[in-house]
Structure 1
Amino acid sequence: MAPSPDGPPSSIEVEINVDANIDRAINHRAISAAVIAAADSRGFRAGQIGVRVTDDPTIRQINDKHLGHDYATDVISFGYSADLPVIEGELIVSIDTAIERARELAWPTEHELLLYVVHGTLHICGMDDHDNADRAAMRRAEADVMTRLGIDEIHRCGADMDASTRTESRS
Structure 2
Amino acid sequence: MLEVAIEADGEWDSSTGWDELARSAATAAIAESAFPQLTSSERMVELSFRLAGDKEVHALNAEWRGKDKATNVLSFPMAEAHELAKAASPGPELMLGDIILARGVCIAEAAEKAISIEEHAAHLMVHGTLHLLGYDHMDDESAADMEAREIRALARMGIADPYAGDR
State if a TM-score over 0.5 links the two structures.
yes
* Residues in 1 aligned to 2:61 and 2:13: alpha-carbon distance in whole angstroms: 22
More contact order relative to length (CA 8 Å, sep ≥ 6) = 2
Cα distance, 1:23 vs. partner? 4.2
* Residues in 2 aligned to 1:129 and 1:87: alpha-carbon distance in whole angstroms: 22
Question: Hey, which of these two has a bigger chunk of helix by percent?
Answer: 2
Q: Aligned with 1:81: secondary structure?
A: coil
Partner of 2:150: 142
* Residues in 2 aligned to 1:71 and 1:39: alpha-carbon distance in whole angstroms: 29
CA displacement 1:9-56 (0-9 Å, x = unmatched): xx1100000013434544220111111221232223351000000121
Cα distance, 1:73 vs. partner? 0.4
Q: Is the 8 A contact 1:87 1:125 kept in 2?
A: no
Identify unmatched segments of 5+ residues in structure 1. 1-10
* Residues in 1 aligned to 2:99 and 2:154: alpha-carbon distance in whole angstroms: 18
**In structure 2, which of residues 119, 132, 135 is the aligned counterpart of residue 111 of structure 1?**
119
Query: What is the number of equivalent residue pairs in this alignment?
Result: 149
Cα distance, 1:96 vs. partner? 1.4
TM-score (norm 2): 0.82
* Amino-acid identity (%): 27
Partner of 2:8: 18
Partner of 1:128: 136
Q: Is the 8 A contact 2:61 2:71 kept in 1?
A: yes
Q: Aligned with 2:135: secondary structure?
A: coil
Question: Hey, which of these two has a bigger chunk of strand by percent?
Answer: 1
Alpha carbon RMSD of aligned pairs, Å? 1.7
Identify unmatched segments of 5+ residues in structure 2. 88-93
TM-score (norm 1): 0.80
Q: How does 1:36-47 map to 2 (within 5 A)?
A: 36-42=27-33, 43=35, 44-45=38-39, 46-47=44-45
Q: Give the counterpart letter for 2:112 in structure 1.
A: E
98-107 or 119-128, which deviates more:
98-107
Structure-2 change in CA distance of 1:34 and 1:106 (3 Å): same
* Residues in 2 aligned to 1:97 and 1:24: alpha-carbon distance in whole angstroms: 18
Q: How does 1:54-133 map to 2 (within 5 A)?
A: 54-82=52-80, 83-84=84-85, 85=87, 88-133=96-141
Structure-2 change in CA distance of 1:63 and 1:53 (3 Å): same
Q: Give the counterpart letter for 2:9 in structure 1.
A: D
Cα distance, 1:87 vs. partner? 5.5
